[in-house]
Amino acid sequence: MAKSTATSRRRFLGGAAVAGVATIAMPQVSRAQTVTLKMQSGFGPTDILSDYGRDYVSKVNAMGGGRLKIDFLNSGAVVKPFSVMDATSTGVLDANWSVPAYWYGKHRAASLFGTGPVYGTNADQFMSWFYYGGGDKLYRELTQDTLKLNVVGFFSFAMPTQPLGWFKKPINGPEDLKGLKYRTVGLASNVMQAMGASVAQLPGPEILPAMEKGVIDAFEFNNPTSDSRFGAQDVAKNYYLGSYHQASEAIEVVFNKGKYDGLAKEQQELLRIAVQATSADGGWKASDIYSNDLQTLITKHGVQVKRTPVSVFKAQLAAWDKVIGEISGDSAQGPMIKKILESQKAYAKRVAFYSINNEADFKSAYEHYFGPMKV
C-alpha cells in the first residue's frame, strides 16, 4: 500500500510537472499565430528604392520565426504613392515604405525629415540626428501630436546626395534654371521655384511620360540606378551630380500605430532592428550598384555626366535661406518648423565641425592614382 501510494505520488508529481510545462507554454499559443502586415511601397516596382524595401521585408520575414510576416505591395497596389501616409494612419495599409516629401502637403515640417536645408551634414549624419540628437521625438510630435496621425515611424537607408538631375540642355549656371519646368518634391520644390524654375511634383512612375510629353523640361529623382531603370537616359543626356536640393534624405518606414502597438514587444524590436540592418546594407549596396550604373550611363548610353557648377550650389544656399525665412514665419506651421530647424542646426554645427575637419582628402587620393577627375 505504501509502495502504491508512493508510485501514485510520483505519477501525480510527474503529471504536475508536465502540466506545469504546458501551463508555462500556453502564452506561446497566441504568439504562435502569424501576424501578417501589408506594406506598400511609394516607389515603382522596378525601382531600386523598392528593392531596399523588399530587402527589409526579407530580413523581417527571416527573423520573424513564422510569427511575423510582411507582404510587400507595389506602388499603387492599394493607394497612389502620395497617399500611403493617410492609408497607413487610417489602417487601409498596415505600413508603408516611402519618404516624407510625399506627404509634406500636410505640414511643411515633414520635408525637414529628409528634404531640408543643408547645414554641412550628410544623410548618415541626418540619421545620427534622428536617432541620437532628438529627431525621433520631434518626428513623433509632428506626426502624432500635431497632425494626429495614427502612425509610428522610423528612418532607414541614408540616401547618397541626390543629383541635380537630367537636362536636355547644359546647365552652366543658375541663370539656366530660370523658366525651366522641373520635377522635384518636398521643400526642394520651393528651393527650385526660388531659383526661377517652374516646378511639378510627380511620383517616380509619372516622370518619364511627363518628360516625353513636354510637361517638364528637366527632372531629378534619386540616383543613377533608379533613374536609368525608368529610362532617364532616353529623354535627356546631360546629368548633373551634386546638389543641395536633397542632400540628406532617407527612407521612411511607417506603421499603423494600433497595429504596431498590438504586436509583442519582441516583434516591435525585430521591426526596429531590421530597419537599422537594412539601412547599413542599403548603403553598402548603393555604393556598388550606383557607381556601376553611372559608368554604364556614360559608356553605353552616351550620357554627359558633369559636376553641378559651384555657382548653382551657391544659388541653392541663397534660395534655401529665402525658403527657411518664409516657412519659419508662417503663423500656423512656423513654430514646429523652427523647433526642428534649430535642433538640426545645433546638431550639425557640432557634428559637421568634427566630420569636415577629420575627413581625409579623398579627391586628392583618387587623383593621385587615377589622374584628374573628368567631370
Residue ranges per structural domain of the chain: 33-158+249-287, 165-247+301-352
Q: What is the spatial distance between Cα 89 and Cα 106, in angstroms, rounded to a whole number? A: 13
pLDDT at 205: 84
Q: Is 283 exposed, middle or buried (0-12, 13-18, 19+ CB in 10 A)?
A: middle
pLDDT at 126: 97
The C-alpha cell 549596396 sits at 285
Please report the sign of the dihedral spanned by the C-alpha atoms of residue 83, residue 257, residue 246, residue 221. Answer: negative
CATH class of this structure's domain 33-158+249-287:
alpha beta
Q: Is 219 helix (H, G, I), strand (E, B) or coil?
A: strand
pLDDT at 31: 54
pLDDT at 32: 60
149: Cβ–Cβ under 8 A, 6 or more apart, which residues? 85, 89, 143
pLDDT at 294: 98
pLDDT at 234: 95
pLDDT at 10: 41
**Residue 124 Cα to chain centre, angstroms:** 12
pLDDT at 273: 97
pLDDT at 311: 98
Segments of the chain with pLDDT less than 70:
1-32
Residue 205 CB coordination number (10 Å): 17
pLDDT at 33: 82
pLDDT at 204: 84
Question: Which CA distances in Å does 186 have to 160, 206, 299?
Answer: 17, 16, 33
CATH number of this structure's domain 165-247+301-352: 3.40.190.10
Q: What is the spatial distance between Cα 320 and Cα 188, in angstroms, rounded to a whole number? A: 9
E-state strands within the chain = 35-41, 68-73, 95-98, 151-158, 165-167, 181-183, 198-200, 218-219, 238-241, 250-256, 304-307
